[in-house]
């Protein structure tokens, strides 16, 4: 039976499967992790654009080493001392900080795209669903004001489940506040480019995410206000299969373009070059 056994001498421990492969959430294809990361978390088999962290998006959009974060000390607050059956809001904030290494659901700062200076704010869905709070709204507002003062284009990358209702009216006020900051850019004729990713819902889609001079979405991104099931139960009708996808929205005039991640940086740069010449 010696031929039936196998010697392990001289072998190094095998890498864990999850360290080598990534499983596509859409088509379940197994993709080499290096290939997955080099393609910006896009499945080369089905073109599924998976979610990304704010740091990954900044690395994708901006020139290497150009990002300088601003307003990094702004964090979430708990004005209502909110608690529900799942625990306190303060505990959820602390858990999100530990999980993500962020203080809020938005990271803001300045950088460059192919040498052109820009201001960016990027949401991160890992932090309580990328929800809009008094802290994240403040970071977006201040970034818009900074762009207006210095004459830099402002780029917003949205991914969110909506307003953070644990903060009540303080959260809802951020819809008006962020739009007020962006309106100053419009008055100064400084471009504001809004990039909508999966998912972008609720108070975010109903405010700053949809008021860009150019509204861009990633392929297959779900974008809307209320969720599909809520709408179907309200109107007592079955919605189209592609309802609330980027492709559905662009066919109904809500978006200007759908852009693959591999083309996003150069597309944004071309738009800004057109503005620079005008």
**Do 124 and 211 belong together in one domain?**
yes
Angle at CA 208, nearest 5°, toward 173 and 262? 145
**Do 108 and 224 belong together in one domain?**
yes
- Could you give the CA distance from residue 132 to residue 216 in angstroms, rounded to a whole number? 20
Q: Which residue has the tokens 């959430």?
A: 25
Residue 106 in any domain: the answer is yes
> How many separate domains does the chain show?
2
CATH number, domain at 245? 3.90.226.10
**Do 167 and 70 belong together in one domain?**
yes
What's the sign of the alpha-carbon dihedral 27, 39, 54, 141?
Answer: negative
Residue 161 in any domain: the answer is yes
Residue 10 in any domain: the answer is no
**Do 159 and 230 belong together in one domain?**
yes
Structural domain span for residue 45: 15-50
Q: How much is the CA Rg of the chain, to the nearest whole Å? A: 21
Q: State the DSSP code for 104.
A: S
- pTM as predicted: 0.91
**Do 30 and 125 belong together in one domain?**
no
* pLDDT < 50 stretches in the chain: 1, 11, 15
Residue 9 in any domain: the answer is no
**Do 260 and 246 belong together in one domain?**
yes
**Do 116 and 136 belong together in one domain?**
yes
What pLDDT, on the 0 to 100 scale, is given for residue 36?
Answer: 87
**Do 142 and 78 belong together in one domain?**
yes
**Do 137 and 195 belong together in one domain?**
yes
**Do 252 and 140 belong together in one domain?**
yes
Angle at CA 190, nearest 5°, toward 189 and 192? 120
What pLDDT, on the 0 to 100 scale, is given for residue 5?
Answer: 53
**Do 39 and 74 belong together in one domain?**
no
Among the residues of 69-168, which ranges form H helices?
A: 89-100, 134-150
């Amino acid at each position: 039976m010696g031929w039936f056994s196998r010697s392990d001498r001289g072998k190094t421990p095998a890498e864990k499967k999850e360290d080598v492969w990534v499983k596509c959430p859409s088509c379940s294809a197994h993709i080499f992790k290096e290939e997955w990361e080099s393609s910006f978390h896009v499945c080369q088999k089905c073109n599924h654009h998976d979610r990304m962290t704010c740091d990954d998006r900044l690395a994708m959009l901006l020139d290497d080493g150009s990002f300088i974060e601003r307003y990094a000390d702004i964090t979430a607050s708990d004005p209502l001392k909110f608690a529900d059956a799942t625990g306190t809001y303060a505990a959820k904030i602390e858990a999100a900080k530990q999980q993500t290494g962020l203080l809020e659901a938005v990271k803001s700062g300045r950088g460059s795209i192919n040498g052109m200076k820009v201001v960016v704010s990027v949401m991160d869905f890992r932090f309580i669903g990328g929800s809009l709070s008094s802290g994240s709204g403040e970071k977006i507002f201040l970034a818009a004001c900074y762009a207006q003062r210095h004459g830099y284009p402002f780029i917003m990358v949205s991914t969110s489940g909506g307003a953070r209702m644990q903060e009540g009216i303080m959260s809802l006020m951020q819809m008006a506040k962020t739009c007020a900051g962006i309106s100053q850019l419009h008055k100064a004729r400084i471009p504001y480019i809004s990039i909508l990713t999966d998912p972008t819902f609720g108070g975010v889609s109903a405010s700053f995410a949809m008021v860009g001079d150019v509204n861009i979405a990633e392929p297959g991104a779900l974008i809307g206000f209320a969720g599909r099931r809520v709408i179907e139960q309200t109107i007592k009708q079955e919605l189209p299969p592609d309802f609330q996808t980027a492709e559905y929205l662009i066919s109904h005039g809500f978006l200007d373009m759908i852009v693959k991640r591999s083309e996003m940086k150069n597309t944004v740069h071309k738009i800004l070059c057109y503005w620079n010449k005008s």
